[in-house]
Amino acid sequence: MDFQFTEEQLMIRDTARDFAEEQIKPREMEIDETGEYPRDLIMKMAELGFLGMIIPEEYGGSGLDMVTMCLAAEEITKASAAVSLTMGLHNSLVTLPIIDYGTEEQKKKYLPKLASGEMLGCFALTEPNAGSDAGNQETTAVEDGDYYVLNGRKQFITNGPVADLAVVFAATDRSRGPRGLSVFLVEANTPGFQVGTIEKKMGILGSPTSELVFEDMRVPKENLLGKKNRAFRVAVTTIDGARAGVAAQCVGVAQRAMEEAIAYSKERKQFGQHISGFQLIQGHIADMAVMVESARLLTFKAAWLRDQGKPCGTASAIAKLYASEICTKVAHKAVQIHGGYGYIRDYVVERLYRDARIMELYEGTSEIQRVSIALDMLKH
């Protein structure tokens, strides 16, 4: 594997870093305190091309690869996991299935709008009784002439309250379980589309999460994405590709936590010296550095495999599992190094600790990652 990035990749990474430093960091505390969705920052990211990174150029995107997206995601996440989440979701869970499974008409209709930020997207798979068991969809889609009529409820949908386009999974044949699912492109202005409860969360407070409720919602048949009753494969392949992006977010949070801990250790004095001089603190910092770098390498391996068109499901699961778990560990150590100050909201590490916790839960819990990895190992 070549560990050298291209000039274009480094340029985009640096652009993301500059944007994060100049535009996001000055507002990172405000975003967390108010919990308001920073739409203006999202639109600025769209102007810079960060919402259409992997969308092909013929559809208004930049036509970049997953490695480049991960480079940018790490930099944006270092400033705000909440802001980064919209970029990551947009580039993976929303645009990937359209790129991979959409008709030419669907691509021309939606991808340019998603790339420009004219449309924001969400991925509506999770339900009250279909979390890790994603195949247990209770939302139904019944054929009626030239339409499908959808009824059901989705839960924990990132971007739910602000999305213009939803990638919605529903059962078209419940008797077949996971093999009876279909997926639809649903515009939020469709009659019967409602935003339900907006969740009050522990972290990533500037990223809105809500229920979506569908009541007799009529969706044109041309909005079926891929083939009828074949959506489970769409979900699996999309999430396999997206997990590298989540791992990059984890690396971003962990990297920032480590940087904050190092800076604090060089300023804080106890017993007549900076605490960076104590071996126990040095041990924590060394552990953090090893974990962050290991997670970063696993992340780029998974992204690289997908870019090469090679199987990436297990590599993505490994990257997501490890990066999400070290993310919480590194954030924990950063709080510990700060001592009591780390528990105070005036310090960035307090937010990072709260933001880190979701990483082991969304886009597949750590338990689901372990099951997936083990099943692949047992095939050999």
Name the residue among 294, 298, 300 with its Cα closest to residue 318.
298
Taking CB atoms within 8 Å and a gap of at least 24, the contacts of 264-268 are 264/337, 264/338, 264/341, 265/337, 268/339
Instruction: Annotate 8-36 with DSSP letters as a single string.
Output: HHHHHHHHHHHHIIIIIGGGHHHHHHH--
Q: Which residue has the tokens 């920073």?
A: 38
DSSP annotation of 5: P
Give residue 247's identity as a one-letter amino acid code.
A
Neighbours of 380 (CB within 10 A): 4
Q: Which of 74, 127, 260, 363 is catalytic?
A: 363
Q: Which token pair is 15?
A: 């652009």
Q: Which two tokens stand for residue 220?
A: 């044109």
Phi, psi of 103 (to 5 degrees): -75, 165
Cβ 100 vs Cβ 38: under 8 Å: no
363 has catalytic annotation: yes
Question: Is residue 291 within 8 Å of 255, Cβ to Cβ?
Answer: no
Tokens found for residue 292: 């962050």
Residues 6 or more apart whose Cβ sits within 8 Å of residue 362: 156, 158, 246
Residues designated catalytic: 363
